[in-house]
Amino acid sequence: MKELYFDAAVIGGGAAGMAAALELDTAGLSCAIIEREDGLGGILGQCIHNGFGLIEFDEELTGPEFAERMQEKLAGTRISVFTGATVMEMDTLPEIKTLYCYSARWGVLKVNAKAIVLAMGCRERNRGNIRIPGDRPAGVYTAGLAQRLVNIEGFIPGRNAVVIGSGDIGLIMARRMSWIGCKVHAVVEILPYPSGLTRNIVQCLHDFDIPLYLSHLTTRIIGRERVEGVEVTPIENGALMQEKAFIIPCDTVLLSVGLVPENELSKTVGVGLNPMTNGPAVDSMLMTSVPGVFACGNVLHVHDLVDYVVEESRRAGGNVARWLKGERPGREARVKAGSNVRYAAPSKVDLERDNKLYLRAMIVKNGAALEVKVNNRIVKTIKKNHVQPSEMLTLELGPKDLEGAAGVPDPMIEISIN
């Protein structure tokens, strides 16, 4: 077993892991990235469409181009990269953290570090998570798997497809399948509004005349050996209208029914999770309930833009550096998701520093107002032309905004959308 020592170890070599590691290196700390795939970049490598980098690089890039730009920044740094290495176990003692990594190339690695950054990203929900009735025929894929098959492996999953769920990856794959000659007959969404970004609704569905069925539930997948069709049932006033159910013939089903932060490893060491995000509950420094273990990117909460992932992860790397140099959060206030807000991350803010929060709306509304209360007193109101659950909102709060929490025991920050 090869034993190594670093100031910090980053689990995951996607955009989040690379951004956090770069910030640690800038702070003069030794750092290792441990990535289970054979190369860095994470999911970006299979996202050949554009739309990445408008914030981070001020230009529109494809996923592989964005990943390449991040990897170019690693060149010339002291960051150690271990690809093809999977972290199987983690010990989190107060003074030193230990990762046990298995790799065909490196053998067994024992990586010791004073701090750990969780940057494992997220995974797709599958058919088992949503329990669609029917047999188990061939031809049912998650949208991300289909994307890998088409863009990386060069396979065509099927010729006649239906996409269940209107998440961004499903919308993008509806367009991609159309480009390779597959007929996409419909996108079926249980909610009364799309789950993906507006630009993807326009560019991936409207431009290709692909029908979008809102407030419709896929009630059965038909077929034994291979998918033959799906049964779709409208929802009216919260009730399934069985008498209006119809069948869409197809040989392929792509599931785009949400993403879940990848936290199986986190749970083994007692990292507390936020039930609203399924990611770790973190303080104002993005540190989890386990001292010295930090989280950022899609493992913390699912982002809509990789640019925000990099922004948050850079902040996490800087916080790790501060923590290793002995800094600790100042006086903190808890953050509460108020009316029409699903969650706000992180779940605490530092009353003495500038904070940036990311939040999700629960409603679709034009002319909305983002309202911040400190101990039930409104301290900030931001007008928003439009809000919807699929598009992340950002909020900056500084010491001046939070003056009302000074001297108050257990202060509370409540964020609402009206």
Q: What pLDDT, on a 0 to 100 scale, did the predictor assign at position 376?
A: 86
- Bridge partners of residue 141, in order along the sequence: 254
Q: Give the Cα separation of 364 and 198 in Å (integer).
A: 12
Do 239 and 301 sit in the same domain of this protein?
no
Residue 72 has pLDDT above 80, yes or no: yes
Residues 6+ apart with CB under 8 A from 343: 274, 276, 277, 301, 337, 359, 360
Q: Give the Cα separation of 121 and 35 in Å (integer).
A: 11
User: What are the Cα distances from residue 103, in Å, to 84, 207, 264, 265?
Assistant: 6, 45, 19, 17
Q: Give the Cα separation of 63 and 286 in Å (integer).
A: 26
**Full residue range of the structural domain in which residue 285 is found:** 1-124+258-329
Q: Is 229 helix (H, G, I), strand (E, B) or coil?
A: strand
Q: What pLDDT, on a 0 to 100 scale, did the predictor assign at position 43?
A: 95
Residue 62 has pLDDT above 90, yes or no: yes
Domain count, the chain: 3
Residue 87 has pLDDT above 80, yes or no: yes
Residue 209 has pLDDT above 90, yes or no: yes
Task: Give the residue from 329, 360, 383 where a domain finishes.
Answer: 329
Task: Give me the mean pLDDT over the 200-205 stretch.
Answer: 95
* Angle at 384 (CA atoms; ends 189, 313), nearest 5 degrees: 75
Do 19 and 135 sit in the same domain of this protein?
no
Q: What pLDDT, on a 0 to 100 scale, did the predictor assign at position 94?
A: 87
Do 112 and 145 sit in the same domain of this protein?
no
If you search the block for the tokens 């993008």, which residue do you land on?
172
Task: Give me the mean pLDDT over the 218-222 stretch.
Answer: 97
Task: Give me the mean pLDDT over the 158-186 stretch.
Answer: 96
Task: Give the residue from 311, 329, 347 where a domain finishes.
Answer: 329
Compute φ and ψ for 12, nearest 5 degrees. 115, 130
Q: Give the Cα separation of 254 and 160 in Å (integer).
A: 11
Task: Give the residue from 303, 329, 355 where a domain finishes.
Answer: 329
Residue 246 pLDDT level (bands cut at 50, 70, 90): very high
Do 234 and 213 sit in the same domain of this protein?
yes
Residue 406 has pLDDT above 90, yes or no: no
Do 131 and 253 sit in the same domain of this protein?
yes
Residue 403 pLDDT level (bands cut at 50, 70, 90): confident
Q: Which CATH number covers residue 383?
A: 2.60.40
Do 115 and 214 sit in the same domain of this protein?
no
Q: Which CATH number covers residue 295?
A: 3.50.50.60
